[in-house]
Amino acid sequence: MSADFHGETLSFAHVGSTLEVTLHRSVPGAACNEIGEQTLIELERVAEYLREGAGGARAMLLASSVPRGFCAGADLRALYQGLVARGETGQASVGEVRAFLDRIHRVFDTFDATPITTIAAVHGVVFGGGFELALTCDVLVADKTARFCFPELRLGLVPGFGGIPRLARDVGNAVVRDLLFTGRSLNAQRAYALGIVSQLVAPGEAPFVARKVAEQAARFDSDTAAAAKAFAKPVPHEWLEREKDTFCRLFTSPVVTAALQKFVTSTDARPYLP
Amino acid sequence: MTTTTQTAELETRLVALAAHRFGKAASSLQPSDDVFEKLGIDSMQAMELLTEIETTFGVEIPDYELQGVTTFSGIAALVRRRLG
């Protein structure tokens, strides 16, 4: 049985044989689909729907209707405010962070391994957790405004939503290290040249092109497509577990709280350009 | 073409690009202007501008090279270095 959903941060609907998931978190203080508790709850709903068979959908398209981009990653303001409001020790907070990571990894692993073909249509900001979300998908279609970045080291952290193990499936470790250790961003053309993005399109055209990818993928036998996906795109479970461990260990450092405070209170026009 | 001429030409093109993108009169912008203050843009608009500069000039400018660079002239110097 298919069922459409309209939430606070995302919606999904069946369009032909495709399940179209649209991120649309646009509230004051959330510039571009930042992933906080509510977004996670609604992503969990999508993941549950996928595990139940996705209402018979043969492909999933993930996109954003927010003009600024696909997703700017974790909701750092909420993370910082949570730390401050509770006034807990780093060790107490890390338990909550671990629980959050376990939940988001379960969602992202489901997106990654779902037997239907998944396509991310991205534009504008594709940063941090947003980049990690896109990397769960089988095919990335980017318009020329897209920009990709892992800024986590600026916060004293490593990417925590599976970004490094998943990026390493697609590109060489030299590229992974460059992006991770410098925190620099890549434009869409460069991401296309590196093989992170497989189709590069004009601004605003990514959803249209991604729908065509989904329609084409749905023409093949579903069991064959699922077998091909399991063969070509294994989920790096062991590496993902080590990523969570590393993230949680780093999270107890005072460097993180100081960096989050700086990020949240900064009025500099260039917080993304350290 | 001398390096000075190349740089001046790049500055002119950069100013025109930024003016067009953010709806300013090119004549109201000078190479020595602070890009962020003069254009009144936020961090995400700055990223959009960076993408357009990279695409237009066919170069890649790592974000960290922009640290401390505030003027059109400064950005033009970075572009010129990447153009070779």
Q: Report the residue from B44, B51, B62 with minimal CB separation from A184.
A: B62
Would you tell me how many other CB atoms lie within 10 Å of the CB of residue A154? 16
Q: With 0.90 as the threshold, say if the pTM is over it.
A: yes
Shortest CA distance to A162 belongs to which of A238, A255, A260? A238
A198 pLDDT exceeds 80?
A: yes
* Alpha carbons B33 and B29: distance in angstroms, whole number: 7
Strand extents, DSSP E, A97-254:
117-122, 125-127, 139-143, 147-149, 185-187, 199-201
Beta bridge partners of A148: A126, A186
- Label residue A273 by pLDDT band (50, 70, 90): very low
Instruction: Assign residue B42 the CATH number of its domain.
Output: 1.10.1200.10
Convert the pLDDT of each residue in A65-86 to its tens digit.
999 999 999 988 888 887 777 6
| Chain A residue numbers touching B62 (CB-CB < 8 A) | 182, 184
Domain count of the fold of chain B? 1
Contact A125/B55, CB-based, under 8 Å?
A: no
CB A165 within 8 A of CB A109: no
Instruction: Quote the ipTM score.
Output: 0.84
> Between residues 20 and 79 of chain B, which touch chain A (CB distance below 8 Å)?
36, 41-44, 46-48, 50-51, 54-55, 60, 62-64, 66-67
pLDDT digits (tens, 9 = 90+) for A19-33: 999 999 977 666 799
Look at A273 and B44 and tell me if their CB atoms are within 8 Å. Answer: no
**Could you give the domains of chain A?**
5-207+217-264 (3.90.226.10)
| Contact of A61 with A14, CB cutoff 8 Å | no
Domain that includes residue B62, residue range = 3-83
Task: Output b/e per residue, A62-91; b: 16+ Cβ within 10 A.
Answer: bbbebebbbbbbbbbbbbbebbeeeeeeee
